[in-house]
Structure 1
């Protein structure tokens, strides 16, 4: 009976380990925080640096939080897992474990507890951390791109579709507003032409309609704005440096939504155009942006 129970326990352990390995293999990067929650300083006792080193040692691509991220993880943050160190210490032991969360803040893996009986903090935390990585080493991690769209990627696609729909709806509303203004201008101009016969009706209507349809375009600002990457977009700063605008990516290439301003930014030819309404007048402002 004891033999059967032991065999069942081993099978369950191997099954859980295989599932965890397959699950982690679908993620390409591990992001290590600059500071763990239970410590007072960034990289205290060099635990964060050691965590990054050990992840890289066992086959992962570890990135320190706030460093320059690769292009693929900037486009899809769900390729990366966020790591954290959990402390569970007693009077005579220092015990820690590694916890990994996905981009939806869901825990996908928790390592076994690593222990140390050292009394000096530096040695105790270092030894316990190395011991907890033994269970991670046993996973034999190797990145395997997922062949099916993940839940995270699907959710990102849904967000992009919603943004695209909002942009399309905004464009349709702008077109409808233009048509309404054109009709109103024609109705106002025709009686005026009758009162002034010397002005041809056709020329008067065209002149007025062109005035309404052409957005007010400001001169190119002499100040150059520099694009700095932020989450889901960029912040545009001047030379002081001062943040002038924050722009968010959309599902359309070279089209951005301007944060805290009812405006869009898009590329026309080699120029960037900031488009918005002011007193019901559509205006376009060219910007000199360096990406």
Structure 2
């Protein structure tokens, strides 16, 4: 009876995890797994990428991400290798984790008694990969992602001011507007417009182009942030926003003009 109950619980959790797969566009395979000392040791990374490719997933290595995935790591699931090997038996399984390092799916852990490590890991991983046979995958963007992928339209209604050259000296300057004397119409330069995304905001300039992705933490004034390939934090200090990151061993801080 206990075995039947355990099996039912396992199948239920397996089904719920499998349902979530369609929310992810990419599978990210590390070139080097934490269980190993070398990149693609025993050809594990290449094999896992090949197996996911064969199943119809869009698979990328962690050092060669497409631009949309760089901007939003939550589009992908990261593969982790669960290695429970001992000196007599090779045991391995796969874990899939989201951008918050939460586990979304786990395969069974399979074993091999092949003496040659490359053959042993290949056999164990291929057996573990059979856990994906019952999953029907078809990427379906979330409603928020569909919205974010549309052409970005930014309204400058409150940030545009017509300036006549003769009136520049006398006219009070709106704090939201930087006026150029020779311009008929000016837009506040450097403004980043915050648009809501899952777990945070994307910051868009006047192009419009996504410059930053910022993700919520447990502290309301602190966000994890990505600017192109630079990882850092966006923090609020005395009513101002700053992007902080390390360049080598030196902390850099850049003030941002964010409009929420």
- 1:142 matched to 2:140: no
1:66 corresponds in structure 2 to 63
SS state at 1:92 partner: coil
Question: Displacement of 1:25 after TM fit?
Answer: 2.7
Relative to structure 1, is the Cα distance of residues 168 and 106 closer, same or farther in structure 2, using a 3 angstrom cutoff?
Answer: farther
Question: Displacement of 1:209 after TM fit?
Answer: 4.8
Distance 2:157 2:111 in 1: 57
**Aligned partners of 2:32 and 2:45 also within 8 Å:** yes
Across the aligned residues of Structure 1 and Structure 2, the Cα RMSD in angstroms comes to 4.2
Aligned length: 189
- 1:8 matched to 2:9: no
- 1:126 matched to 2:122: yes
Distance 1:262 1:17 in 2: 46
Structure with larger Rg: 1
Residues 23-73 of structure 1 deviation map (CA, whole Å, 9 limit, x = unaligned): 22322210001111121221122110111011112232211112251x543
2:36 is matched with which residue: 39, 53, 60?
39
**Aligned partners of 1:59 and 1:141 also within 8 Å:** no
Which ranges of structure 1 fall in alignment gaps of 5 or more residues? 157-163, 176-202, 217-248, 265-291
SS state at 2:204 partner: coil
Question: Displacement of 1:262 after TM fit?
Answer: 4.2
Distance 1:262 1:25 in 2: 38
Residues 95-150 of structure 1 deviation map (CA, whole Å, 9 limit, x = unaligned): 11211111122111121102111122211222121121121233x23124155559
Q: How does 1:116-265 map to 2 (within 5 A)?
A: 116-138=112-134, 140-145=135-140, 149=144, 208-209=169-170, 214=180, 250-254=203-207, 256=211, 260-262=253-255
Distance 1:13 1:207 in 2: 71
1:95 is matched with which residue: 91, 105, 113?
91
Which ranges of structure 2 fall in alignment gaps of 5 or more residues? 149-153, 174-178, 183-201, 213-226, 228-242, 244-252
**Aligned partners of 1:82 and 1:101 also within 8 Å:** yes
Residues 260-284 of structure 1 deviation map (CA, whole Å, 9 limit, x = unaligned): 44477xxxxxxxxxxxxxxxxxxxx
Question: Displacement of 1:253 after TM fit?
Answer: 4.4
SS state at 1:66 partner: coil
Distance 2:133 2:168 in 1: 75
Q: Which has the higher helix share?
A: 1
Q: Which has the higher strand share?
A: 2
**Aligned partners of 2:168 and 2:181 also within 8 Å:** no
Distance 1:44 1:5 in 2: 40
**Aligned partners of 1:27 and 1:143 also within 8 Å:** no
Distance 2:87 2:157 in 1: 62
Distance 2:123 2:63 in 1: 27
1:189 corresponds in structure 2 to none
**Aligned partners of 1:60 and 1:141 also within 8 Å:** no
Distance 1:21 1:12 in 2: 14
